[in-house]
Amino acid sequence: MFDDMFEEDELLDDSGDGGTGETSPAGLPPARENMEMIGADTIETTLLTLYNNKTLPHALIFAGPKGVGKTTMAFRFARFLLKNGAGNDDQGGLFGDAPPAPETMAVAPDDPVFRKVASGGHPDLRFFERPADKTVVDVETVREIAPFLRKTTAEGGWRVVIVDQADLMNRNAQNAVLKILEEPPPKAMLILICNRLGAMLPTIRSRCRTFHFAPLGKEPLGKLLLRAAPDARPAEITLLSALSDGSIGRAVELYEEGGIATLQTIIDFLGGWPDWDWARIHPVADNLARSEGGYAAFAALMDWTAQSLVKARAVGLHTLPDILKTDSLLTLLNHYSLEQWIDICEKLKGHFIAIENSNL
């Protein structure tokens, strides 16, 4: 990778990360229990407008980076529909006057609907996700969607299905979902959550209304980080915000897995170039092999470091994060051309992809 000092087989001996579902970070309420939605006001306004105008589509795609609130919004919208949907077809009041249109999707935590959704016991809501022992969402996982959406509702309103990591559905599973979309039942809502929109079949995307979730801004991300990691120091909050690319999930994962210390280790190792300190590198590799979360943090931070160096080489040193502005890293940065740094990044990404695909 650096002057071809690493061989492919050497790196493939390290341990990889099998991946997990999009769960809520520790310190924050699980998505089905979270009544607060931050950073998606425009999406909520649009959904409310569609609902109030009775123009809701039968299927939605919530697309965007992992850990930016897609699942939280899915449960928020599901609670709203289950709470208000029973009367949506006929909104006339007692004397023929229409009730005021809802201005928020919030449902009080003491509401029976909220409690049922939070406990996983609402009869008109189903949540599907990738089984822990599988790398894809297969057709067996989603085959219950169609009969559920077509049965009579228990509470006279909507039936809602949420599919997490829908971009991990294999071809058979996506085809099964496509059949549902071709003949959607009335008052049935299907919400597909995906981190990689391009992995979804074009025919599925064409039959859904897609909402793009942007990375969280610095201020809301900082607030959530303080809530999830109240013991973190201000300098750590600032650094984690920079490392997370606007994802609260990624920020908390890095904090819990000692990401700041891992980043410092990476900087120290790279600072030893061209004389790699193998006596220190091998024990770190052994530790990573025993920690799925630690490996994931290492891979993300190694990629972030390389990408930051490429950007600095292309645009200028003013883009380089302060933590990377060490004399040794600047020497390393200046030793390679932009083209060589791009090649290094591609090789690095290829190594991590090979490890993950090999399930090492």
The answer to whether the CB of 40 falls within 8 A of the CB of 217 is no
Report residue 14's pLDDT band, with 50, 70 and 90 as the boundaries: very low
The answer to whether the CB of 161 falls within 8 A of the CB of 149 is yes
The SS3 assignment for 65 reads: coil
Q: Which of 9-18, 31-40, 327-336 has the highest mean pLDDT?
A: 327-336
Each as own residue / partner, the long-range contacts of residues 25-29 (CB below 8 Å, 24 or more positions apart, any chain) are 25/67, 25/228, 25/248, 25/249, 25/251, 25/252, 25/253, 25/256, 26/228, 26/252, 26/256, 27/227, 27/228, 27/229, 27/230, 27/252, 28/224, 28/227, 28/228, 28/248, 28/252
Looking at per-residue pLDDT, the higher value among 321 and 49 belongs to 49
Tokens of residue 291, six digits: 């920690």
Per-residue pLDDT of 133-150, as tens digits, reads: 888 999 998 999 999 999
CA distance 56 to 289: 47
How much is the pTM?
0.74
The answer to whether the CB of 65 falls within 8 A of the CB of 221 is no
Looking at per-residue pLDDT, the higher value among 331 and 86 belongs to 331
- Mean pLDDT of the chain, nearest integer: 85
Weakest mean pLDDT among 173-187, 229-243, 307-321: 229-243
Instruction: Please report the pLDDT score of residue 60 as a whole number.
Output: 98
Interior angle at CA 30, CA 120 and CA 352, nearest 5: 115
**Would the pLDDT of 335 be above 80?**
yes
Instruction: Please report the pLDDT score of residue 9 as a whole number.
Output: 35
Instruction: Please report the pLDDT score of residue 86 as a whole number.
Output: 64
The answer to whether the CB of 79 falls within 8 A of the CB of 113 is yes
CA distance 98 to 170: 45
The answer to whether the CB of 153 falls within 8 A of the CB of 185 is no
Percent of the chain with pLDDT over 90: 48
Percent of the chain with pLDDT over 70: 88
The answer to whether the CB of 104 falls within 8 A of the CB of 86 is no
DSSP state of 132: T
